[in-house]
A and B are shown apart, each in its own frame.
Chain A
Amino acid sequence: MSTLQSSPMAGLASASRKLAASLAIIATTLFGLLVITFVVGRLVPADPVIAVIGDQADQETYQRVYAMMGLDQPIYVQFFNHLRDVVTLNFGQSHLTKNPVILDLARVIPATVELAGLAIIIGAGLGIPLGIVAAVHRGKWIDQIARVVGLVGYSTPIFWLGTLVLLAFYARLGWIPGGGRIDIYNEGLVEGPTRSLLLDSILAGEWEVFWSALHHLITPALILGYASMAYISRMSRSFMLEQLGQEYVLTARAKGLPKRTVVWGHAFRNIRVQLLTIVTLAFCGLLEGTVLIETVYSWPGLGQYLTTALLYADMNAVLGAVLVIGLISIAINLLSDVVYRFVDPRTR
């Protein structure tokens, strides 16, 4: 211990070793992801060539397109070609959209991040206080309500809830828009640097576009946020209950500290790392789990992109999308590791 403290070089070496280990884990994870996706892609029964040429095409056309798509190469050559391209961030061309996959991803990812971002803000913003209040008032009416709200959110299929909300608030009442990221008439007015319509419209001062985008975003984000809230509030409640049973809480109360200070000042500080973990997990889950809500709300995001690509055996798009989801998940986890070090001195 003392040696480490006294030698900055040793600290640096240890940090480098940790970094190298992390990078090795990341590389292995991504490679594994690539291999699995590639193999699964080959097992999908849909024929990517027929998806492109249609089922009536003759054999000559089939062979021509088969070769054009590089499928005439041995499978390991196809894999290594793909690996080589991925290293240079070239995910190839999507057979479906005819765009480079990287451009497609640059379009669909911000749409999903915007949706999942607002959803997680709603989910965590409501779920954590609700869970904590429920824990503090364990067994009281507020706890019961929180549990019912959580149970409903946990067990309601998002697809069904989304459709029901559309039926009630769009078709019957006309309060919310029917789908898409923005009103058609505001399309193309803002094409900014972040590709988040909310941020770009603020940056461009296009308030009409901003309201339209927010209006379209709020319903699917609330529905997704509700599902996350159910999970986060349940977890927050159990974390908090565990802390409230600890002796330091009793001691603090015995000292005469107000309940609010004990809960928020002491107990809450001790569950921050756990909360961060579940919020991170919930956010990663949202990134890949938005597909149902994206379908119901015609949201042109990553989930819909990936599903369509899978259905039509568009393997470049599938591999690219999965890899990017993997990268984002790893990045979020790394970021949460960094944040841990700030909130919990023991992890430093």
Chain B
Amino acid sequence: MDRRTMLKGALMAGVSAAVLAHSGSVIAATPADQLVIGMDMSAMRGLDPHELNQLEAAEVAANLYERLIVLPADNLADPQPGLAESWTISDDGLTFTFKVRSGVTFHSGNPLTAKDVEWSLRRLVKRGLAPSVDLKQWGFTPENVDSLITATDDTTLVLQTPELWNSNLILYALASFSTSIVDSAFLADKDKEGDMGGEFLQTSDAGSGPYSLRTWRANDLLIAEAFDGYWQGVPAMKRVILRHLPESSGQRLQIEAGDIDIASRLSSTDLASLDNGDVASIQRTPGFGFYYLALNQKNEILAKPQVREAFRYLIDYEGLANGVMKYYGNLQQTIVPAGLIGAVENNPYKLDVAKAKELLAEAGHADGFTLTYYASPATPEAEVAQSLQANAAEAGITLDLQIGDHIGKFRSREFELFSARSGDRLPDPHAVLQSYATNADNSDEAQLTGINAWRTAWDVPAEIQDQVRAAAHEPDQTKREAIYKSVNEAYLAASPALVTSFQRTDAKAIRNNVQGYVGHSTWLTRWDTVTKS
């Protein structure tokens, strides 16, 4: 061995030793005043609360910004004061007057006033991007919003609705991440081609929430710091760090090692292995959406009620509930999501291939048929689709299963069978029902592409549609509850073209020393309630 080789060897040994010597610091619990969340940030695009439309980004907005109304995670139906100290509703139910809290400051140091609320709500409607539906569906338009939402002084905001809606629907909308209040004075000079600070806000923060944005590198890392001037007191967690860990197994290893406190996107296998409670517990937050099967009514076979009914007997509800859906959904065959008014527990359907065959014979398809079936590629949608394909085969139906991103084809009605999951945010049956059980105009020209029933070309029975509309306008909650119960029954009996099987739940693993991280069904999980022992 010559001198050069020896030197090289010594150098490599030295580096290795030094690296190993520093490895003592690798495995250590996260600091007591910092919360580290592992998540798949791939789909997280932009942090502008009036533009974003996705669960992970909404959780960030929930903590950077605040809204007039707060819906407690454990009682979503009970609107509580947020930035609005109090409110009154006029006798005719059309005018909402909010007293905006004094003494609240934005992260910039600017005071928050009713003018900021006015500017923010108008901004949401005028920009007209995805989450603007939260106000637009009640009749607000870019043309009328300036006259319908006005700040009469620094602490008073008056909001008028163009028509009468159940007041809860309006209050719930004002608790959504999309109605977050932004710092209008701070954004005044950030306008770019009339975007009202849109480009700036996608990667920055102009809020008054318990946390301010320190660092955001897309698909890598987000660091939020506790806001010293927060009006409800500085949160216990001084920093909250979101780390992009796209692999479920990586998240699992890190939560076991204590490098992250919360793992938010885990496969069912990893969730099951963490479910013994040794290091973490599994939190399942119900969401207001369903795993659904859409049967295109433009297809003459699927348009037959007996065929639609047959498909309900080809889903292995029990097998899925005990298998892949254990962490992702709760069995539900009715249409009002559990936890909301009017929800009932009634799951009469079971896997029954013989019954399905009987129904198919009745429809004149005793020898079966062949159709194309599009399904989402993600877990568990793909597994659910494979299960249906297998059961359908037993009944003589050949489903050409194509797993991939086919949502565009679903929106444009160019499919035969399609399955995926939906997720609404409004904690009221109206949100789900509007999409699944109303279809104002079933013609191709109507282009109601946001409505699942239109996508499926399902001419929903008028009886159901009328009840859904009536309930949204009904001021009395007790009467609404009765209507929704009736809708549930009618939907179940209608052999719907949108077959629901499971209500979605979002599962996260939370380390045992973390308290107060409470999953919020409207995507507004807060970090300022978190403590660590």
Contact = CB atoms under 8 A, between A and B. Distances in A.
Interface in A280-307: 295-296, 298, 300, 304-305
Nearest to A167: B253
A174 interface: yes
Interface in A17-64: 45-47, 50-62, 64
Interface stretch (B325-333, B363-371, B385-393, B447-455): B447-455
Contacts of A308: 42, 219
A57 B45 contact: no
A211 interface: yes
A50 B407 contact: yes
Interface stretch (B108-116, B243-251, B302-310): B243-251
B203 interface: yes
B188 interface: no
A50 B406 CA distance: 11
Contacts of B250: 166, 178-179, 296, 298
Contacts of A94: 218
Contact of B253 (A46, A53, A166): A166
Interface stretch (A97-105, A138-146, A322-330): A97-105
Given A96-B45, A174-B23, A187-B215, A58 B448 contact: yes
B53 A59 contact: no
Interface in A153-185: 163, 166-167, 170-171, 174-180, 183-185
A258 B219 CA distance: 56
Contacts of A214: 15, 19
B429 interface: no
Contacts of B23: 174-176, 215
A295 B411 contact: no
Given A53-B53, A98-B199, A61 B132 contact: yes
A65 interface: yes
A93 B93 CA distance: 44
B442 interface: no
A237 interface: no
Nearest to B423: A56
A170 B26 CA distance: 9
A312 B218 contact: no
Interface string B33-66: 0001000001101100000011000000000000
B90 interface: no
B514 to A, nearest CB: 16
Contacts of B246: 295, 298, 304
A5 B269 CA distance: 73
A311 B53 contact: no
A53 B411 CA distance: 13
B18 A211 contact: yes
Interface string A210-225: 0110110010000000
A188 interface: yes
A107 interface: yes
Nearest to B455: A55
B380 to A, nearest CB: 17
A312 to B, nearest CB: 7
A94 B202 CA distance: 11
A95 interface: yes
Interface stretch (B69-77, B254-262, B478-486): B254-262
A51 B405 CA distance: 10
Contacts of A62: 411, 449
Chain B: number of interface residues, binned into ranges: 35 or more
From A53, A97, A296, name the one whose CB has the most chain B CB atoms within 10 angstroms: A97
Given A56-B450, A295-B246, A170 B257 contact: yes
B130 interface: yes
Given A58-B448, A175-B20, A45 B253 contact: no
Interface string B217-253: 1111101000000000000000001011111011001
Contacts of B219: 96-97, 300, 304-305, 308
A174 B203 contact: no
Contacts of A312: 42-43, 45
A64 B194 CA distance: 14
A42 B480 CA distance: 47
A78 B46 CA distance: 24
A179 B42 contact: no
A58 B218 CA distance: 27
A309 B25 CA distance: 34
A99 B203 contact: yes
Interface in B404-425: 404-408, 410-411, 420, 422-424
Contacts of B199: 98
Contact of B244 (A45, A47, A58, A300): A300
A198 B159 CA distance: 56
Contacts of A295: 246-247
A61 B217 CA distance: 27
B361 interface: no
B95 interface: no
Contacts of B214: 188
Contacts of A183: 25
A57 B133 contact: yes
Contact of B257 (A55, A171, A300): A171
Contacts of B406: 45
A184 B36 contact: yes
B531 interface: no
A59 to B, nearest CB: 4
B208 to A, nearest CB: 22
B56 to A, nearest CB: 13
A56 B424 contact: yes
A123 to B, nearest CB: 14
B411 A50 contact: yes
Nearest to B30: A184
A57 B259 contact: no
Interface in B423-453: 423-424, 435, 447-450
B129 interface: yes
A184 B130 CA distance: 33
Contacts of B132: 61
Contacts of B15: 214
Given A58-B450, A98-B45, A296 B247 contact: yes
A47 B25 contact: no
A313 to B, nearest CB: 8
A169 B453 CA distance: 52
Interface in A52-101: 52-62, 64-65, 94-99
Given A53-B53, A58-B133, A95 B45 contact: yes
B3 interface: no
Contact of A59 (B18, B36, B247, B450): B450
A179 B448 contact: no
Contacts of B253: 166-167, 170-171, 178
A47 to B, nearest CB: 4
Contacts of A296: 247, 250
B6 interface: no
B218 A97 contact: yes
A59 B250 CA distance: 38
Contacts of B221: 180, 184, 187, 300
Contact of B27 (A59, A163, A174): A174
Interface of A: 45-47, 50-62, 64-65, 94-99, 104, 107, 163, 166-167, 170-171, 174-180, 183-185, 187-188, 211-212, 214-215, 218, 295-296, 298, 300, 304-305, 308, 311-312
Given A62-B449, A104-B218, 14 more contacts: A47-B407, A47-B408, A52-B45, A53-B129, A97-B45, A98-B218, A166-B253, A170-B26, A174-B26, A180-B221, A187-B221, A188-B214, A300-B221, A308-B42
17 contacts: A45-B404, A56-B53, A58-B449, A61-B128, A61-B129, A61-B133, A65-B129, A98-B199, A170-B253, A175-B23, A176-B23, A178-B250, A178-B259, A188-B223, A295-B247, A298-B246, A300-B219
5 closest A-B pairs by beta carbon, nearest first, are A97-B218, A58-B450, A98-B202, A300-B220, A174-B27
